[in-house]
Amino acid sequence: MTPETPKETKTDACCQTGDVAVVDAPPPTTRRHFLFQIGIALNVVAGALITVPILGYVMSAFVKKFDLEWTNLGPISNFPEGEIRIANYENPYRRPWDGETARIPCWVRHVPGGTFQVFAINCTHLGCPVRWFAESKLFMCPCHGGAFYENGDHAAGPPPRPLYTYEYRVNGSNLEIKAGILPNIGNPGNPTEKVKGEA
């Protein structure tokens, strides 16, 4: 006579002597399952790190840009006719943590006849600050040897374009420029601005 096979029953049902109870317990967490979940989490983080900057770049085209503000460079008497002087202005969109970097230098050329050119200080090659040498009448970039004529045109070296210029106006006895964003390839200021009588 063969022994009787125990009968399986659900835990909800009443058990009789000799029945085997089947419990609907969650499967145990294995190391493989745990590592798989960690892998998914790391992939989600990596995807976010890649996607967020790309979305920010694409959406920035739809975000309202800063309006440039007329900013005072000081009295015209600070810029003698026929000379090029450096000036500093306070970024109108400065943040508390900007510190000294909120004070931005630029070069002001007072052209004989009462007109001005206000050049951004950054070289149009890689953005190094250019210096004015009155003896040679050239702006020189110390980083890669770029050179610009006194009217901002490219003279030598790797820079691909003339110095960027600010839009300016004379307001009473003061010289003002439109500031807020450094002139760059996307916002070149007045790239075609030329002083009359110059090439």
Short-list 184, 120, 117, 126, CA closest to 159:
126
Mean pLDDT of the 60-87 span: 86
Condensed to tens digits (0 to 9), the pLDDT of residues 7-30 reads 555 555 555 556 666 667 777 778
> How far, in Å, are 36, 43, 82, 118, 144 from residue 31 at the CA level?
8, 18, 78, 66, 56
pTM score:
0.65
Name the 3-class secondary structure at 103: strand
Share of the chain above pLDDT 90, in %: 53
Short-list 76, 68, 104, CA closest to 88:
104
192 pLDDT band, cuts 50/70/90, is very low
Q: Which residues pair with 170 in a beta bridge?
A: 175
Residue with tokens 């960027």: 164
Between residues 183 and 103, which one has the greater pLDDT? 103
H-only helix segments in 4-102: 31-59
